[in-house]
Chain A
Amino acid sequence: MVGAGGLWHHRSIDTVRSDVPSPPPAPAPDGRRRFRLVRRPADRILAGVAAGLGDELGVDHAVVRLAFVVLSFAGGAGVVAYLVLWLFSSDGTVESSRAAPSDDATSRLLKTGAVALVVGGLLLLLRAAGAWFGDAIVWPVALGALGSAVIWMRAGPDRRTRWTRAATRHPVETVFTGEMSRGRIAIGALCIAGGMAVFLAAHNAFSAAGNVVIAAGVTAVGLSLIAGPGMWRLGRQLAEERRQRIRSEERAEVAAHLHDSVLQSLAMIQRAESAPEMATLARAQERELRAWLYGRPDGQGQDSLSRAVDEAAARIERLHQVRVEAVTVGDRTMDDRLRAMLQACGEAMTNAARHSGADRMSVYVEVEKDAVTAYVRDTGRGFAAANVGGDRRGISESIRGRMERAGGSAEVTSEPGGGTEVKLVLPFTQ
């Protein structure tokens, strides 16, 4: 057993060194050729005997390897068989890429089944002959190997390659995370073998019940190493794929947005003929981009006063080519009265844009518990209340009228040369 342990140990080191993922199952030889065992150093884990045998028999390398593992627990028969076959095989480096007609899936399945039956028969034979480490060890290992073989056979070539790659990437990861990894199978088997060695050394017999428990425990550890972490590995794989998908979706969304907005605006700016037109385009784009970068995501706060104020300001900027600095403190969900107030506010902004002569204005809206107050201020030419023109009075009346119908009030302060400020107040009774 010590010898076998050493071999297995060597095997795991081999795995670590191997950077080459094992290729998809090699094609089976054609039937007319004489049976000749050729080692496949390119696909080797130990010496390439299992790979060569697999090629000869027309079954997957992994299945052959599992068969050797299982048989090794029947008194080390697998190890002996491996060494014997190694002695009688030839080095296949020279002709490693021999082409052979590939079997169809059914035939390969039949051959694999045959291998399983042969292994099963050998196990029974060896058990009867006494070359046996105990039922608690061999049968679970055999069953685990059978299960692994089924999983391996059913997996597509790309998944196998992925598994193999995962298994050969990193030594520690290989042992604990690689699904179906060679390293883990090797170490699991080592555990089992070690358990058996302890067992034998301590009692020199197979009958002590307590040791069966120990042996079973070690076996369980070995088996869980072989089969258990596959699920964990799979979970991690899925999570990683999901992360990458989300990342690429976000990227696509950003790209789409920039294309629809910024790139379009830049194109329009290049075609714009006058400086004010350029400035307007740039300003509108700036506002839009700012809202997208720092504002609430779409669908959130859609119906809020602060958003409505920003939109009204943007509209005035677009229509009248002035700069509107809008600041909102606090927030509130829009309702009919607030909508009326916002319309009055829009009138005041239009008014300032058209008549003040200033190129910028400030809009300030503050939401308090009992009232919403809005200020629209420009630093333009202003006016004296006495000589207000007819249309101007009309606009101011429409502002006031709207506010009063909504239950609020409006107040216009202005002086010639000192700008104009419209103050709107909408009280809330609650």
Chain B
Amino acid sequence: MSDEVRVFLVDDHRLFVSGVRSELGSSFSIVGEAGDAEQAVAGILETSPDVVLLDVHMPGGGGAAVIRTVAPQRPDVRFLALSVSDAAQDVIEVIRAGARGYVTKSIAPDDLAGAIRRVHDGDAVFSPRLAGFVLDAFAGESPPSLDPELDQLTTREREVLRHIARGYAYKEIARQLHISVKTVETHVSAVLRKLQLSNRSELTRWATERRLI
């Protein structure tokens, strides 16, 4: 059932890394781990994993810095951000740097495994809180912009995000909205893209504060 997704762990909390290792070890192949940004970049470039499980806060630069360094050289590597922090700027920073999703460290092991597979398949993973934040950030009038498509959510996307915030899994959302799981995934990926590319001030504010732009 498992197609042996190759996972690389980046986290400076050894206890957490060993916990995740034992949880995921049976269904994934853990190809390496790193405790800081520098090690992470070197390790990822060397092992070329499928998915990098990436802590947002680390010594020597955050997860976003790792993504920005690695992504141009290894475009196939996918990143799933993992953090204890719900602070919007942290989440948005790492998503805008290129992470395909974000989950909190309190996530159940099964859900984490599911999220890794989803990211590996090229889909996006939103925690309920991230979904809530996106709804908040995209609420209200969209600012005048070159690409209005990017700066607002469609009704359907809103609906999907609401369900994620309400705690529904993709499969359940599909059933509730009478659409296929694939369609749900498409909607979430579209939202992720908007999250990464939109110029909405709610999103760019964090980015400019951290001098990302």
Contacts and interface: CB of A to CB of B under 8 A. Distances in A.
Nearest to B131: A327
Interface in B95-146: 106, 108, 128-129, 131-132, 135-136, 139
- Of residues B85, B128, B129, B166, which shows the largest number of chain A Cβ atoms within 10 Å of its Cβ? B166
A421 B166 contact: yes
B86 interface: yes
Contacts of A421: 166
Contact of B166 (A290, A294, A330, A364): A364
Contacts of B84: 286
Nearest to A359: B108
B132 A364 contact: yes
Contact of B128 (A286, A327, A366): A327
B129 A364 contact: no
A361 B167 contact: yes
B86 A290 contact: yes
Interface string A278-298: 000000001000100110000
Contacts of A362: 128, 165-167
Of listed A294, A327, A329, residue having the most chain B CB within 10 A:
A327
B197 interface: no
Contacts of B162: 364, 366
Contacts of A366: 135, 162, 165
B132 A329 contact: yes
A290 B83 CA distance: 12
Contacts of A293: 85, 87
B136 A329 contact: yes
B139 A327 contact: no
Nearest to B88: A294
Contacts of B87: 293-294
Interface centre among A294, A323, A362, A364 (most CB of B within 10 A): A364
B93 to A, nearest CB: 14
Given A290-B86, A293-B87, A294-B86, A329 B167 contact: no
B132 A328 contact: yes
A307 to B, nearest CB: 15
A61 interface: no
Contact of B167 (A294, A325, A328): A325
Given A330-B139, A364-B167, A421-B166, A325 B86 contact: no
Interface in A371-393: 375, 377, 379
A329 B128 contact: no
Contacts of B168: 377
Contact of A377 (B106, B108, B132, B166): B166
Interface in A348-382: 360-362, 364, 366, 375, 377, 379
A329 B166 contact: no
Nearest to B105: A286
A421 B84 CA distance: 27
Interface of A: 286, 290, 293-294, 323, 325, 327-330, 360-362, 364, 366, 375, 377, 379, 421
For the complex of A and B, the 10 pairs showing the least CB-CB separation, nearest first, are A362-B167, A327-B132, A364-B166, A294-B87, A364-B165, A329-B135, A375-B166, A327-B165, A377-B167, A329-B136
